[in-house]
Structure 1
């Protein structure tokens, strides 16, 4: 049943990635970005600070992502993932004055390709309503608090899970696996801002490069749900993997809790967008949890994380005139609808195995992701205008 289900899901996801983000209407102020399999070219090398729109077209043969890196070439100031071949998307990011680099990643794995310098100059001063400034400041403070809470709980849950795994208590570790990962899945776009932390914690086997050491949740998942012909790790190897997962999670928690950790309002809204793109890219296809098939737990966590981020900026969007009110109305409706649909697959404190879903049921989930992602893709451009 799994083969047929996932084959149908893959077809659905390909259609989804090609149509959901494709909202690139004519925009005279957008910077054109052309992605190929080996390079990414931006039409301008400079732009004034503030909200910058990149109109990104993937002319390559594989899914790609567009990144804006800080001057150290490590920290990610902004990224747009899951851009399918032949797809054009508008990506809005708020950038302050300074030096950056643009880059792309064919297949969304490996080192960034074709780094190019990009300079953000001082933009024109704008008059911002005092009440809106207060709303933005409150939203950022609230979201930072949410991130700290989630990473703290993630660390506790990961420590408990790793202890069971290292002790060889596979039953306990399996029971904790999906619920512990949910904390991470709710805030994954933030983890991706810190360069190597996301690959260390959440890399899938299909994305491991030659010579790369595979660590994290999915390496341990393979031990706990070992496929035929695979020899699970011995106690010493388990100890190494478990301790590394806890250490990497501690790093993430420390970075989020640091006094100099900052966020911008567009990172909150783009994070919500990114979480739903995660659903369309790997949850719908069943690729995320290859061995455990706990994809619906991840699906739910991604939706929850996106809903929290949206809820934090909702009032700001609603105050942006008729267009803001319309998007808010659609998002309120679609978030409720996708939660209702997911509730059909609840089982106890969790969900049924993804292998139990028929192709028709996967299609229903995919359609609802599509319906939610369409208005969500407009959120950043509304709140930063």
Structure 2
């Protein structure tokens, strides 16, 4: 779960490539190759074209400010079409997106806080469906089935956790906590695409919006994690929160079948999962009370690898060298994670507070080695 997000956050499903950028005037055209350029600073968000043809759209963004920023492409109701996080000062990022004809907003988010600095844009034309290969269509169908299965499997595991909380059984709740999150972590980019479900279910305390009260407005897994692992207790409010968690997860499960999924959204979602690992799991921030970060880490990697494996029949034709590199780096990172899995027959990993700085650096290097080629997956899929 990312630490901060747009007020009506949702994420994922169509999406894109970010890279370099310069400023632009309101009426200016896209670059000669059709790329839309975005110039982000601490106080502005300028786009090179306010209108562009619907279909596969490339966005190039450069952070010219002094703060880390994020870029969002939003539907009019604030659902996220595409996003890229953690774009550092002076750096560039890349996304490639499939956009239907219609109105959108582009939001730059300096400091990764608030609603962002926004520009209204329009994708024009018939909005005809992008032509896809049979392999790409098969990948989308299989991935849709996968995310539904993960949601279906999460509910009974989360119910075990919620029942333990409601029974006041601290030790049983602790044991059930990490397993209850695996399916969510594998498919988080899709999970984030439904209104405010993700902030209700998976937000950390430091991810609350300005003005939200941690005692009144903080809900979901991590609020319960703090009570269990830091407070070592369960109170009446926690028992109510367990019921709320199950209600929110039921909404998520129901909506999974409605998610907009494209080959490029699958590819960008895989990269988002690696970003989740880099910014939350490797640092130990995600599971700061339970120290079950490596369970989330493994689930994120599995979700990213599933999307990639389903897209491999496409990328093996469009970019065989990239496919070979991704095979290599996924295998390397999985092998590295196995070092922290004492019982290979169980989905259990060592407590992350027992992992030293040198080992964390090794894990971080493994994530970075995979993240670089994975950032090219969407472009390979869109060829």
Normalized against structure 1, the TM-score is what? 0.86
Distance 1:124 1:192 in 2: 25
Distance 2:43 2:91 in 1: 17
State the SS of the aligned residue for 1:313: helix
Residue 60 (structure 1) shift:
3.1
Match for residue 330 of structure 1?
325
Matched, 1:31 2:36: yes
Match for residue 204 of structure 1?
204
Distance 1:108 1:165 in 2: 33
Match for residue 18 of structure 1?
none
Asked if the contact 1:31/1:43 (under 8 Å) is kept, the reply is yes
Distance 1:113 1:71 in 2: 14
State the SS of the aligned residue for 2:178: helix
Match for residue 48 of structure 2?
43
Asked if the contact 1:38/1:113 (under 8 Å) is kept, the reply is no
Match for residue 16 of structure 1?
none
Distance 2:189 2:288 in 1: 21
Residue 179 (structure 1) shift:
1.4
Match for residue 8 of structure 1?
none
Asked if the contact 2:333/2:367 (under 8 Å) is kept, the reply is yes
Match for residue 3 of structure 1?
none
Match for residue 5 of structure 1?
none
Distance 1:176 1:150 in 2: 17
Equivalent of residue 122 in structure 2, options 119, 123, 126: 119
Match for residue 52 of structure 1?
57
The 5 A counterparts of 1:342-381 are 342-348=337-343, 349=346, 350-381=348-379
Asked if the contact 2:79/2:193 (under 8 Å) is kept, the reply is yes
Distance 2:82 2:365 in 1: 27
Gap change, CA 1:250 and 1:109, over 3 Å in 2 = farther
Normalized against structure 2, the TM-score is what? 0.86
Distance 2:366 2:264 in 1: 24
Residue 232 (structure 1) shift:
5.0
State the SS of the aligned residue for 1:290: coil
Matched, 1:257 2:252: no
Asked if the contact 1:182/1:297 (under 8 Å) is kept, the reply is yes
Distance 2:130 2:226 in 1: 54
Residue 262 (structure 1) shift:
3.0
Gap change, CA 1:246 and 1:380, over 3 Å in 2 = same
Q: Which has the higher helix share?
A: 1
Gap change, CA 1:127 and 1:297, over 3 Å in 2 = closer
Q: Deviations over 1:185-216 (max 9, x none)?
A: 11111112223111111111112234321111
Name structure 1 gaps, 5 residues minimum.
1-20
Distance 1:248 1:105 in 2: 27
Distance 2:42 2:178 in 1: 35
Match for residue 66 of structure 2?
61
Give the stretch that moved more between structures: 116-125 or 204-213: 116-125
Name structure 2 gaps, 5 residues minimum.
1-16, 23-30
Asked if the contact 2:21/2:38 (under 8 Å) is kept, the reply is no
Give the stretch that moved more between structures: 368-377 or 189-198: 189-198
Alignment root-mean-square deviation, CA? 2.3
State the SS of the aligned residue for 1:334: helix
Equivalent of residue 102 in structure 2, options 98, 122, 130: 98
Q: Deviations over 1:284-343 (max 9, x none)?
A: 1111111111111111011000000001111101111xxx10000000011011000000
Gap change, CA 1:125 and 1:186, over 3 Å in 2 = closer
Distance 1:256 1:121 in 2: 28
Matched, 1:136 2:150: no
Matched, 1:340 2:344: no
Gap change, CA 1:312 and 1:181, over 3 Å in 2 = same
Q: Deviations over 1:7-47 (max 9, x none)?
A: xxxxxxxxxxxxxx996599853222122334422221111
Asked if the contact 1:174/1:224 (under 8 Å) is kept, the reply is yes
Distance 1:380 1:306 in 2: 13
Asked if the contact 1:158/1:246 (under 8 Å) is kept, the reply is yes
Q: Deviations over 1:115-149 (max 9, x none)?
A: 32110112798995xxx522121111111000100
Asked if the contact 2:87/2:93 (under 8 Å) is kept, the reply is yes
Aligned length: 351
Distance 2:124 2:18 in 1: 29
